[in-house]
A and B are shown apart, each in its own frame.
Chain A
Amino acid sequence: MSRRVLILEDSRTQAIIISKMFQRAGYEAICVVDQADALAQLRTQSFGLLVLDVFIEARNTLDDLEVYREMAPQVPIAIMTAGQIDNPDAGATALNKARRARVNFLLPKPFFYDDVKQVCEDVDAFWTRNGAENSLSAAG
């Protein structure tokens, strides 16, 4: 599997911070600021993890999860959000919606390097397990 992460984050500063954390954890980080760029990246290269911010401009990424799953089947998805300051419930609502949609990881902001490191370890384990299952099914 690829140790490359696609980060969808519309804040340039946040994108830099998050990408530095993933780079430190040993991942190559590709940052995009909107869904169109994200899908363009998914068409051209493979990723081991998708890290998606919920509120991108006027869109809610959780409404588009199926698009990402079609473009990158089996690739684990981490959902991150800081919520909305005008709507204190938005963060919790989004995280619950993401969990119900069975995303693999939840990253409420602000998160720290240790959180990213843990996610990366779990992603590595996911691909090890998934790769083994694929090998078994190919052998069968």
Chain B
Amino acid sequence: MTLAAAPKSEPEFDPMLQTAMRTSEELVSLMNAFFVRLDTRRSGDFISIADEINKAKSEIRSLRPQDISETRLPTAGAELLAITRDTENATNVIMTAAETMLGLDASAPDVKDRVDDEVMKIFEACSFQDITGQRVSKIVQVLTQIEQRVSRLAEAIGLDDASPPELTAEEKRQRDLLLNGPAIGGPETQQADIDDLFSADATSSDADKLNSQDDIDALFD
């Protein structure tokens, strides 16, 4: 005996439920297309951001920050120290020679020879200029390399200079009174003008006015 297979029958749903299901399916289909478009756009944005990050990383890598901090800057620093040492030594020799000449007896028979000896010491002391020139060139070279790398990085990641920070009261005073040392091409007060202020008229009435820091500051305004 064979058993006849039971006939398959579609489940009976409420027609309203079937309509709701069809509507839902159409809605899901519509939303799916929307989400696919949304994902694609966001995905593109994220890819673009990732590209920018990779580009920035690559530029930072080409900046070779470790080379700058471990090699270039210490080398430039060592050269600056050597310049300071050499100029200091030369200055001492020159001042000593000048002092010796000031102390010579002008009526002594060998005064010319002794002056010549001291002048020659001054010339010898100036020999440091040869190596110092090379040292300064090396420092300028390091600064130029760093400047080029930083400019390339700023350009690559689209950075503009921020507006300069507001000066503090002390910084303003230093700027206004030119207390930051000599600037190339001025506008510092000329040495001759300063010399005039402190020259022979120290006993004059003008000099008597130099009583306070404000009076002295006013000279440099």
A82-B130, A85-B138, A110-B130 are known contacts; what are 11 more A-B pairs with Cβ within 8 Å?
A11-B130, A13-B126, A13-B130, A17-B124, A21-B120, A21-B123, A85-B134, A110-B128, A110-B131, A112-B124, A113-B120
A101–B199 CA distance with the chains assembled, in angstroms: 59
* Chain B residue with the shortest CB-CB distance to A11: B130
Q: Is B152 an interface residue (CB 8 A)?
A: no
Does the CB pair B116–A24 fall under 8 Å?
yes
A21–B120 CA distance with the chains assembled, in angstroms: 7
Q: Give a binary string over B71-92; 1 marks a CB under 8 Å from any A CB, 0 the rest.
A: 0000000010000000000000
For chain A, give the interface size range: 10 to 19
Does the CB pair B134–A113 fall under 8 Å?
no
Taking Cβ atoms with an 8 Å cutoff, the residues of B that contact A are 79, 116, 120, 123-124, 126-131, 133-135, 137-138
Does the CB pair B134–A14 fall under 8 Å?
no
Q: Give a binary string over A4-46; 1 marks a CB under 8 Å from any B CB, 0 the rest.
A: 0000000101101100110010000000000000000000000
Contacts of A112 in B (CB 8 A): 124, 127
Q: Is A84 an interface residue (CB 8 A)?
A: yes
Does the CB pair B124–A82 fall under 8 Å?
no
Contacts of A85 in B (CB 8 A): 79, 131, 134-135, 137-138
Does the CB pair B123–A14 fall under 8 Å?
no
Contacts of B128 in A (CB 8 A): 110
Does the CB pair A20–B127 fall under 8 Å?
no
A20–B134 CA distance with the chains assembled, in angstroms: 23
Known: A20-B120, A24-B120. A14 touches B127 (CB 8 A): yes
Contacts of A111 in B (CB 8 A): 127
Contacts of A11 in B (CB 8 A): 129-130, 133
* Chain A residue with the shortest CB-CB distance to B129: A13
Q: Is A57 an interface residue (CB 8 A)?
A: no
Does the CB pair A82–B134 fall under 8 Å?
yes
The 5 closest A-B pairs by CB, nearest first: A110-B127, A85-B134, A113-B120, A17-B123, A20-B123
Contacts of A21 in B (CB 8 A): 120, 123-124
Contacts of A109 in B (CB 8 A): 127, 130-131
Contacts of A13 in B (CB 8 A): 126, 129-130
Q: Is A70 an interface residue (CB 8 A)?
A: no
